[in-house]
Each structure stands twice: as C-alpha cells, then as structure tokens.
Structure 1
C-alpha cells in the first residue's frame, strides 16, 4: 500500500467518523424530543394513550426516518463540511424541521389542535366544517355541487378556497378512510408542510441569483417561518396562497432565462385560479409587477424583444386561464352574481388621496418587527385587529435590511438606480396608501391581507444583504441605524399598546436582538486602519459573525412564531374525544328524526357542540345558521328585511353571519322555512322551549343529554300559496308586519292575474282580526291597530298536500303536490339561476319568491315537480378547459420542437 492509498483510507475513515457523529447527533436530538413528549404525557395522562397520542408517536417516528433519509449514505466520500456545501437543500430542510418543532411541538405532540377559538375562530366556524362537508359528500356519494347542510343551502364552489385547496386532498383522504380525529391532528402537520414548501420554493427562487449558499439558506428558512405564514397561514388558508405565489414568481424567473419552462408557468397559473380566484388576482398583480421590473433590469433587451417576452407570458397565462375555466367561470359567477361581495366598489382616486390614520401607520411600523408587539389575538391593541392590521413581519431584521438594500442600491448605475427608486415608490404605495390595498382587493375594500405578495421581495432583500456582509458603505449603514433607532423611539413612546401581560418584556428583548444583529452587520464593514493581524482577524471572523447573525435571525423567527401560534386559545384533544359534533354515530337525535320523516326538512340547535354556525355541516343535517361573507345575496336580503333578529352582530356585520339561537322561539319563521325539529342541551343556559307553548317536547335522549322538540306548525319544505304580493309593496310594510304577511302570501317580483292578489280588508283598514292558531290553545283572535291584513298559520288553513324528497343528492328534488286550484309552489331553496324546474315533465319558470327563495306555478290537481341544480357556467367552462388542453398541448409541442428559440 503506497502513501496516497493510506491517505485516502485515512480521509475516508475521518469522513465516516464525522458523518457517524452527525447521525448520532440527529438521533440524540430526536430522542430528547421524543423523551420530552413521553415525560409530559405520562405526567398529565399516565399510561392512557388516546388516538391523538398514537398519531403523535407515529408522526415523530416518521420525522426520525425522514432525518436519517436526508443525511443519506456513502459517508466516506466527502467530509461533513463539503457535504453541507454540496447539499444545501438538506441543510435547509434540517433547519426548517428544527424551527417547525420548536414552534409547533405542542401540535406535533397532539396536546393541542391547530384550530383556533379566539379571533382566529374562522377555522372553527368555517374551514373545519367545510372540510367535513366535503368528506360527508364523498362518503355518501353525493357529487352534486349543491349542499343543503350549509346554512339554508349553498353551492360548494361559493367556498372555493376551502373546497379546492390542493392540500385539502390530505384531509379528504384521511376523513374518508379514517376518523375525524386524524383530520384534526393533520391540520397542524399540513401547516408545517406548507411552511416547508415555502422555504424550498424560496430557495429555488433565490438560487436563480448569485447569492452565497449560506445567505440563501438563512433567507429561505426565515421566510418559511415569517410572520405572515405564522399568522395568516392559518387564517383564510393564506399558507396555500404563499405557496402558489412563490411557485409562480420562481417560474417567471426561470421562464425569463429559458422559455422551455413556460408550460410549467401555465400549469401554475391554472392551479392558483382553481384554488382561489381572489388569491389568484393578488398573485397576478404581483407577478405582472415582478415581470415588468425584471424585464426593465435586463440591459440587452430592446423594445421589440421586450414586447415579444411580455406577449409570450401573456399567452401562457391565457392558456392557464382556459385550463382552469371549468372552475373559474362558476366561481366568478357565484362571487359576482349570487354573492354581494363584489357588488359595491370604492373610488380608486378617492382612496389615493386619503391617507390612513396615524395609529395605523404606527401599527405598520410595529408589524415590520413582529406580529405581537401590540398584543396577541384578542389582547391586540393596535389599529384594526390582530389579523387585519398590515402584516409585514418577514423578519425582525427586514426593515433595517430594506433600508440598507435601497441605500446601497442607489449608488449603482443609472438603470439600477431608476429601478430601485421606482420599486421603492411602489412599495411605499402598496404599504402606506389605502389605494394600494384597494388595488389588490378588486376595488371592493381596503383589507390588508394582500401583503403576502411581498414575500419574494423580502427573501431577495434578506439574501442580498446577507451575501454582501462586510461590503457595505458607511452611508447605507448609517441610514439603517437611523431606521432602527427611530423605530425603537416610536416603540417606547407607544409602549402602552403592550396590553398583554405575558408580553411586557418582549419589546426590550426584541430591541436588543435587532440591535445585536445590526452590530454584527456593521462590524465587518468598518473601514478603519488597523494592524495587519487585526484585519486578518476580522476577515477570519466574518464567517463567525455570519453564523451569529444567522442564529439571531432564526431565534427571532422561532420566538415570534411561537408566540403567534402558542399564546392563543385553541381546541384540545380531549374536547373532541367526547364532542357530539364529531361523533355522529353516538348522537341518535338526528338519526331518529331522519327515520321518522323520510322527506327533506330542517333541524336547528339552541347550543353548539363545536361551531355556533356550522354544527349542521359536521353532524350532517340541514339547518339555518351560516357563517359566510360571500353567502347568497338574495337570502341575505331576506334576512335583513324580514328576520334581522338572527343576525349575529348588527354593529359589525350584516346578514352574512346568521345565528338561529338568537331567535329560537320564532314559530312563524321556523314554520315558513320548514324548521321541523329543534334540540337543546338539557343542561343548557338558555330558557327551555318547554315554556314556549309552541314546540312539542319529544323527550330527552339519555345517551347524548339532548332534548328534542318538534314544531307542529312546520309547513313543509314545499308550500302552496294562492295569494301573491309584489316585492315593492311588501317592502313598504312596517318591519313588524312582514313576518305575518308571509304566512299566507307569497312575495314575488311580478304578480300575475292567475292568483288572488293580496289586499287589505276594505271594510276595516285600521283594525282587523288576526287569527292565530296555537296547537295547545286552539284559535285565538286579537285586535290590532294600524294593521291592514289578515293572516292565518299556513299549516292549518290550506288543504293542499305537498311532499318534497331528495333524489339521491342535494342537487335533485322531487315534490308531489295535490292542489285544489292553480297556485304557486314555494320551496325554501335559496334563489340561484343554477336551479331548473319541471312541472309534470314540462319546463317551468322559477321565480324569486319571498325575496330570497324559489317558487313555480302549478296547475290544479296532482302534479309532480322536479328541481335540478347545475352550477351556472360549468358546462361553458368545461368547453373552454378542453380548448385549453389543446392549446397547452400546442404550447408544449412548439417549445419542445424549437427548443429555446422563440416560438
């Protein structure tokens, strides 16, 4: 054996020892984490392992296997340092897993569920119920897009971002094959997955530029756990929006360098349009701005070439639109025609010249450094609220780094200087002007949830500053220090905003952290004459300072993320193990009611097992309450004009938040909407329906602690009316009279001569008898002044028989009607042009009745009326999607045939 062979063997042995020690280190770290889980578990629950505990054990075993897989094999080939340089993505993944564990360990352990009960309660009231709504539809084989269990009825595409989120496929599969507990546990794990995907995509984006690999790792990991993903990542499913944004921006950059990547850009555009039209609009604005800026920065491009580049991207985006048309067109119809969300638009010029409040600008400054400097969740004391305040915390160091980046960039050539100035003005406009918020919200409102579009820019700034450590001039450094010191001054002048007791020490600690980071940035850049050894020390110490800065950045991200996710009110596993909403097999109330009545009917509760609004979705029955800001505008108008008592909070919201239990003893509205059963908790705090004298007590179910009450006056899902009234006339009536009128009169857009028109008693305009029938007391008459109508409970005076049943799915109903003369059949289905009707096999026109529901004309005698729902514009969208497939195939063929040449 010669000397070179011996050196090779010794080197390989040394490399093997390094990797072996690193592998042992990984196993020890995992063992400490797993041991901590077992210690805490045995202290709190003893030997009892519930379903959440076993899922936590399985997840941690998978994490260990994943760590060992990342480390890989063939340890003797390279040393650990060289291995790290060759596999930076693995190092990034290790860092992200470590940060994720530190932030989300309580959710990984299964001690908490990533479902919030404070100001982030939308997870409870909307997202989780929608997930289980889709799981129930899959289990029952109901492929209709209509869902009666969501409020009074809704097209599922109305909740597009919750239904079409690609990550929801994980929940659907778990819910279909396993129990609800697996789905609830997975919500936190999927959030971690979204954060890590954002980190990987940020790395791919930054890898297109000449940054150091250490800078790219730090910037990617910091952005993966930035304030936006920690806060909005849970709320409104913005985590998925961040994933699509980073994917599209990366593909724009890749396609600028090589046109062969345009098909991938097309697929990404189609994906984000299918996920959410609202988010896609924001992403599109950001992508267009980024494309224009990048084209402007390219020196060699001429006008003709720039035009060709923009047209190529426009063509690829249009193909993506065609691919998504099967979902995009129906969703756009639901949100622009059925919903009132896009109905009222604000003036851009008016908002352009209207500054925000000083308090909001102060909150913006706070948010540059942390989500939590002004309090957490319900303790937040800044402008707007904890979520809606502008979210700009991409890193605690982002603001000084941003000042440093621009102050240094202005000193470059004229083109770079012009781009820096233009982008700085655009950034100020987006962050500081309400018109910027209006632009990103389709000119509808000035909500500030759009700031996730700045995530790629924040990553670029962080990576750029970290890569140039030690190369900054004194003037940019001075500007950054001024920004930091000025921020600290504003913080301490407004420190009374720190209302949460557990955050009293957070402000000075964060200030020290940022100051230490800025000191690390400043030291290598000082141009001071020193002895040669001192300069050599600074050069060798640069790597040490870089490591220190990286640690400070990760500490700030983990610290802030931990507060955002853990200093909150969330559900705990024990809340679900006995929760009736997630154990429908043990809750026989609905089962017994469904067996007693085979036709369609509605049920409500005077309490909540999980969500005050959407328990019906979880327990798979049709109710009335709903929680949706894009709900059917016709139903919303009905609620506002006729039944405002059920609106949750008149001071802050409209009829998009309806809560039945606020007016649970209203027998008139319950009868009109076929609310046949109401059940209340035996130990509930509300006054029992036993004292109402209207609802009939059907007895208590001892297994569930629920008492079932029946509404004896429920008119049925279909009601025959002989009298009609035009809507304009109806709305002229005093609000207290409208409920009475609806008991025997149908309100329509246009009255016809076929039916008896509603009119007041000519003989007595100001004093008439109102016949009220009570199932226990019989008929009762009372005299009312200033009332000019006659009303009787529809369930008692009509001789018409109506039976409505489902035909296998919510989107298909059949009504068997027996009427003694020509009349109108009213069904309490929200008015939507997607519904069509046939009477005895002939197509019939559906009218908007009672402001927000449906009615069809029926002949005398027995009739069969069928209702069928098809999502509007879906067929047209399917045709466009087929065309999009052909165009996409042509795009791929053209690019592959001509390679990187222009197509």
Structure 2
C-alpha cells in the first residue's frame, strides 16, 4: 500500500484526474438539463429550495458586509456563526462564491454541487486506491462513493456533501500516521472535519475510533503505546485548531430542547425500533435507489423521513460488497462492514453517531458507504473473489424485498389494493432501475470480466447509471415541488424588485406563504425555517402557543405577537380563498403578486410598561391569550420583581379578563407612547434612544443571548432576561442613549486556543523533522539492516476458497480503459517501479535497490528505512 506522496510521485496525477473529471462530467450531465430549464438557476425540492438557496445568499451577503456576529434576517435574530456553521460557514465551496457578487450566488448552486460530487469522487479514490492493485478500480470506487444513494439523496440538503468530501481524508491521515509515521497530517484532517461540520464530526469520531480498533486486527496495522499517545496528541491538537468555530457552534446549541436530556434514547428504545418497518427499510436502502426524503415508498411507515436513509451503490448495488464478504473469511474490512450493519439495526448503537438522541437519523451512512465502495473495488480487483456469487445473492435479496411489497394485498379506506408501497409510479420506477442495474451487472461480470475493456465498461456503466438515476431523481423532486415560479420569479428576482420603506426598523410577516420568504427578500421576518436559533426562542414560542422545532410559524390567530415583535407589514399572496384578518392591519399596496398590509398599530422596537406580571399569573392565562397579556405587562421572575418592583406596579387582577381585540389595540397605543425615539441596527448590535417620563425597564424583542452586553449613556448595565426569552435594561428618565453590543460566545477563547494549537503544531513538526534528520544521518553510517519481507495487499485476506489464490490474474486486472495492459499498472505493485510502500508500511526496492524484480514478479525484499521521512518507515511494529 503506497503512501500518498509516493503514489503521486510514481504515477503522476493521471488517476486522480480521472476520478475527478469523470465524476465532474457525470454530475454535469445530471444537473445541466435542469439548469437549462431554469434559465441558469437550479431548483429542486423542499429544504433545498427554501433553505439551501436563501442560506447561501444570506450568508454571502452577511460576510461581504462584515455582519458576522448577530444576524437580523434569520427568525427574530440569531448568532450568525453559531447558526450557520452547521450549514455552510466553513465550507470551502461556500467561500468560492466570494469570487462573485451576491446577486449571482443563486446561479452557483448547481455548479457547486457538480464540483462537490467531483471532489467526493477524488477523495474517495484517494482512500480506496491504497487498498487495490489496479488503480482504475479505485476510480470506480470513487464514483460509487460519490454517486451512491446517500450522495444523490442529500442533494435535498446540499451541505451534507462537504462531509463526504472530507471524511476520507481523516482515514487517509490515520493510515499515513500508522503505516508511514506521517506526522501532522492527522491533526490537520481532524481540524478540517471539525471545522466543516461540528455535528457530523461527532459521528465521525465514533466511526474513526471503531475503524482504528478494527483496523488493528490487521497484522500490518500495529500501534505501540508510544505511537498511540502521539496519535491521541494529534487528535487533541486538531480539535484545538478547530476550536475557534467548534466552541461557538457547540455553545449555540447548548440548552436546545432537541439536544437536551429529555431527547435521549432510553428503555426498550435503546434496543428495538418503535417502527417495525424500519428494519426492512434499512435493508432495502442497501439494495434499491433512494426515495425522496419526505416520501418513503417501499416502507412508508418506517418513521425515517428526511433521515438520509440510503446506502445504494449505482450499477453494482450490493453485489461487490456481498462478493467480498462471502469470499473473504478474515479481513478487517469485512469486520467493520458487519459491525456497521449491526449498528444500523440496533437503535442505541445507531444513535451513538448523534449522541444518543431519540430522533432517528441515518446520516452517518456515508462512512460505511465509503467502505462498501472499497469492498466493491477490491472484489473487482481481486480475481480470486467470486463476484458472481455476490450478484446472485443480490438478486435473491432484491426479490425477497420487492415481491412482498409489490404483491401483498391490503385494505385502504375500505378498498382492497395489491401492494404495500405508497406511490405507484415511483415504486415501479425504482424496481425498473434496480432491475436494469442488476441485469447490466450480471452481464458485465458474466461475460466481460476477462475482457481487456472490462474496466472501461465498468466505469462507463457506473457513469451512465448514475447519470440516468440522478436525472430521474431530480425530475421526481421537481415534479412533486410544483412550479418554481415562487422561488425564481417572486423570491430570487423579487428581492431586487420589491420596494419597501426603510425609514425605521421593523419586522414583516408572510401569511401562509413560502418558507423563509422574508429571508429571500432580505427583510426581518417572524416566519422562519431554520433549525439552529437561540435557545431563548426555543423556550419562548411554545409558551405562547407556537410550536418551535425546526421552524417558527406563528398562526394568524396569535395576532398580538405581531405587536410584541414589532411587525409593521404583512404579505398575503393574491388569490387566496381567505384573506388575513388581523387587528390593526390595513391593505396599503400590491407588489409581486402579493397584497401588502400595513400595521397601523405598529409598536417600534424598544418600549416600556407600567405594569409587570409574575410567572404564576402568566401560567394561569391560556396559551392563545398569553401574547395579548405580554402586550399589557412585562413578565418578570420573582428575583427581578424584587430588583425592579420600584419601577413597575403589579398588573391588577381584573385586567386579566380584558384581552380581546380592542384591548390589544389599546395596549399597542400604550406601548407606542412609551417606545424609543429611534432604533438602528448595525454589524455589532443596535443603538436606541429613549425619552421616558420616569425611570423604567425598556424591553427589546431581541432574543436573549449570552453574547450581548449593554450600556446606557455609556455606563455598563445589566441585561435582564424577560418575557421568557427577550431582553430589557434599566433606563433613567429623559433622553438616553442605549447601546447593545454582541460578541459571539466562545469565539475569542476558541480563537486563542486555535492560535496556540497552530503554534504547537509548527513546533511539533519542527521537532519531528529534526529527529528524523538525526536518524537519517545515523542510518547512513550504520550497517544495512536485515531485509523485511513485503506483504502483498491481499495477504491478510484469507479467502474461503484458498485454491483460487493460485488462479492467474485476469488480463482485465491490469487493463486500462482504452484497452490493453498499462505497463505502469502491471509493474506498480511488483517492486520494479522505483520502490513502493507495501501494506505493512515497509519499502519495496526499486531499480536502485538490491532486490528489484522483473515486471509481474512479486518483490520479496524491502528497505527498512523510508527516504521520504528521513528515517525508518516503521519505528515500532
């Protein structure tokens, strides 16, 4: 097995280019028809349309303007770094967009996806190529990884592809450290993966630990206690390098109900899935193309919508994986594949990748998918493996899944029907696609495996199948999403056509409209579809009758929230059967096919109260009237009442009965009379000017967050968390300047640790280099050590039919796609090409060594020293 540097040095970049550009071409074929249909844009379905596109545009504009601390255009305001680091903030693909202006970003969505698929194939190839002799099969493996069901499925989410790009580098770095003593690379790989997506990184840590210990069962992969210490040191160092983003991200979700103790798996749920259909659904995900995320079809009640449940490999499906597993009796790869399947089937083990959260996700499947692609490549590469055995078993299992689902009768709405599936056209489309792949795979392996053009056929088959299914999959998504006019014409183009006043700060509302419509228009909006918002918001909304899980969608019946949250304009799409009926709103304009209503009872940001209520009084009020109550009085804790009871008086008990529409409008007038003279936001927070008749608490409907600090007339003041999730400060009578500044919690401490870790890494590498120079000098003056036998790539894999090991290599094993044998390939692993690193990390002699061999003959000697490292290739074994 070759180190990355030696592979590049010996073979050049030919195969790397092929892995990249073949995937680039395949992905371009998938996306280009829809880009042409959309006039340069690319729209798909669901979350992609209403999250990925506006998120990219919003984040691009925020970074360009330096507005990177508090973002006013996501829900009621969010910690920008904490909220967007999960989606895109540290993605190199996102940073590529800064070559272009913000208005051009929507046109980049498809090109970026094409580039991502190409990079997934590239890094997948870089990992797989370490374990196969014929590197063309590693190119096949890279394509399988990139265009797997997981890769195609998650076009829906878009930002999941970054982790597919960078995860193979983590395993490569681990291999380099153990086998070639390559120092510093593992720390950098850990840092890169932690930066790309902190949540996925948690699962990657679990899987990498599993990979490490299973890999150690291989004789060539041995780690001494000393080496393990340095590996752990680099892991910690890598975390330190990433802490400037990782720490703010983790702090931003601390206390989130979705990550709290109440959301942990427990009891029987640790051992058994509550949805019986999930078990066959997991198996089906291995053998058939993926369903659309919100529309599971084979097993519609498996309870895993949007869970990324797919691990299908194009063309080969599970044929290569089963061929490898069934043919090999002893192999670290077989062990980890079997362990991964068990973990997928046991809820508690599956949940380890998401910190035992009780929500079902299969978003870690890209990791075993990479190893499935490796197993397929090894099965293709090793002529001793009976590939047809895997093909036959794949066909049998596909029939065992498809026949019952297709032919079982069931009674639906008092009518009998045949089939357990939910969507008839999609089901038969999947069956047809799987059947075509099975037939092509059967013919390929049955009749062409020994053909000199076999590799070319395999590459072409994977590319054609991936392209066809990708086009079909995107087409199904677009068909189900309906017209894209709302996205392109009204939202993306509408951003630059909409004319709205900007004399004061205000929020907007969209009545039963497109998710994140306000974000598309770059208007602060109370309707938001975003998973990561301040914890204070997650706690506030349920208390006033608004469900807050992945989105904020206050119902029109909660009209008083519009006054509390300073909503001035309401948009309602023309043609709706019911117009919004909210007190205070009057139709004032029509733009982009929307009726625009102005709130005549608008209360500017920053206002005071005459009365307060305690928590007990608040709890006695019904949920649908609590927002009305909050327009009348400020909710304080008992401790706050003790501190500020001299400023406000308790709300008289009889006032709790008058919470109707007219009472609300009257309360709005009272709040207007005690509101700030001005309110202006900026990149670091906001400034307000008050002019109160007496000292009071001034309330701001800005989510409470630890990163806020405040001053009044230049003097620091304490920020109080009021109304469950918002902020208020004590302000004297008369004209006062109120200033709130925001600094992302954890950013500065994390940055200090990251800078320190970078310095330690540099020092560490210098010391390693110095040690190796000394060892190299000592090795030159010492007698040549005894030769160490080289280990072939397949020596550790004990096949079930040992006699097959003596079978001659098929000509296809060293064939290039153009046909004919590739000299570089036939000699690369024989020791005749300038020395190559074996699977055990030893160095095979080349022409300059004393034991070079003729092409096609296995090298039986190895050098003990690694000239690239300036010292021994293996210090400990």
TM range (shorter): 0.7 to 0.9
Cross-structure match for 1:514: 438
Cross-structure match for 1:150: 74
Cross-structure match for 1:78: none
Instruction: Report the CA distance shift for 1:618/1:549 in structure 2 as closer, same or farther (over 3 A).
Output: closer
Give secondary structure in 2 for the equivalent of 1:623: coil
Say whether 1:621 aligns with 2:523.
yes
Mapped contact 1:329–1:873 kept (Cα < 8 A): yes
Shift of 1:239: 0.7
Of residues 646, 671, 688, the one that matches 1:815 is 688
Give secondary structure in 2 for the equivalent of 1:393: coil
Shift of 1:758: 2.5
Say whether 1:454 aligns with 2:373.
no
Say whether 1:634 aligns with 2:564.
no
Q: Which has the higher contact order (CA 8 A, sep 6+)?
A: 2
Of residues 162, 165, 179, the one that matches 1:240 is 162
Mapped contact 1:825–1:856 kept (Cα < 8 A): yes
Cross-structure match for 1:878: 751
Mapped contact 1:352–1:433 kept (Cα < 8 A): yes
2:673 & 2:455 partners in 1: Cα distance? 85
Mapped contact 2:693–2:733 kept (Cα < 8 A): yes
Cross-structure match for 1:696: 586
2:657 & 2:251 partners in 1: Cα distance? 46
Instruction: Report the CA distance shift for 1:688/1:107 in structure 2 as closer, same or farther (over 3 A).
Output: closer
Shift of 1:744: 2.0
Shift of 1:625: 1.0
Cross-structure match for 2:181: 259
Mapped contact 1:639–1:655 kept (Cα < 8 A): no
Cross-structure match for 2:395: 484
Of residues 586, 604, 620, the one that matches 2:497 is 586
Of residues 569, 580, 595, the one that matches 1:677 is 569
Say whether 1:161 aligns with 2:86.
yes
Mapped contact 1:113–1:571 kept (Cα < 8 A): no
Matches of residues 306-705 of structure 1 in structure 2 within 5 Å?
Answer: 306-337=224-255, 340-347=258-265, 350-355=268-273, 357-372=275-290, 378=295, 380-382=297-299, 383-384=302-303, 387-388=306-307, 390-410=309-329, 412=330, 416=331, 419=332, 422-445=335-358, 446-469=360-383, 471-472=384-385, 478=389, 481-495=392-406, 496=419, 497=421, 499-501=423-425, 504=428, 506-508=430-432, 510-511=434-435, 513-518=437-442, 520-521=444-445, 541-544=450-453, 548-569=457-478, 578-588=489-499, 590=500, 593-594=501-502, 597-598=503-504, 600-606=505-511, 608=513, 612-644=514-546, 647=547, 654-660=548-554, 662-663=555-556, 666-681=558-573, 683-685=574-576, 687-688=578-579, 694-698=584-588, 700-701=589-590, 704-705=592-593
Of residues 270, 287, 290, the one that matches 2:208 is 287
Residue ranges of structure 2 left out of the alignment (5+ in a row): 1-9, 407-418, 773-868
2:47 & 2:14 partners in 1: Cα distance? 40
Instruction: Report the CA distance shift for 1:479/1:205 in structure 2 as closer, same or farther (over 3 A).
Output: closer
Shift of 1:824: 1.3
Mapped contact 1:724–1:757 kept (Cα < 8 A): yes
Instruction: Report the CA distance shift for 1:236/1:102 in structure 2 as closer, same or farther (over 3 A).
Output: closer
Structure 1 stretch displaced more, 424-433 or 831-840: 424-433
2:158 & 2:710 partners in 1: Cα distance? 36
Mapped contact 1:672–1:714 kept (Cα < 8 A): no
Mapped contact 2:691–2:736 kept (Cα < 8 A): yes
Instruction: Report the CA distance shift for 1:482/1:131 in structure 2 as closer, same or farther (over 3 A).
Output: closer
Shift of 1:870: 0.8
TM (norm. structure 2) is 0.78
Give secondary structure in 1 for the equivalent of 2:106: helix
Shift of 1:636: 2.6
TM (norm. structure 1) is 0.76
Say whether 1:887 aligns with 2:798.
no
Cross-structure match for 1:123: 48
Shift of 1:713: 1.9
Say whether 1:133 aligns with 2:25.
no
Cross-structure match for 1:786: none
Cross-structure match for 1:276: 197
Q: Deviations over 1:54-113 (max 9, x none)?
A: xxxxxxxxxxxxxxxxxxxxxxxxxxxxx9999334444453244224322314545477
Cross-structure match for 1:61: none
Instruction: Report the CA distance shift for 1:566/1:85 in structure 2 as closer, same or farther (over 3 A).
Output: farther
2:714 & 2:545 partners in 1: Cα distance? 35
Mapped contact 1:195–1:225 kept (Cα < 8 A): yes
2:48 & 2:133 partners in 1: Cα distance? 39
Shift of 1:637: 2.5
Shift of 1:722: 2.8
RMSD: 3.3
Give secondary structure in 1 for the equivalent of 2:472: helix
More helix by share: 1
Cross-structure match for 1:12: none
Q: Deviations over 1:163-208 (max 9, x none)?
A: 33221112343234xx3xx322321111111111111112211222
Give secondary structure in 2 for the equivalent of 1:742: helix
Cross-structure match for 1:249: 171
Mapped contact 1:282–1:453 kept (Cα < 8 A): no
Mapped contact 2:93–2:112 kept (Cα < 8 A): yes
2:308 & 2:630 partners in 1: Cα distance? 43
Residue ranges of structure 1 left out of the alignment (5+ in a row): 1-82, 525-537, 648-653, 775-779, 781-789
Cross-structure match for 1:650: none
Shift of 1:829: 0.4
Shift of 1:492: 1.5
1:749 & 1:894 partners in 2: Cα distance? 57
Give secondary structure in 2 for the equivalent of 1:770: coil
Q: Deviations over 1:112-161 (max 9, x none)?
A: 7775554xx1122222222121233245x343410111111111121213
Mapped contact 2:24–2:117 kept (Cα < 8 A): no
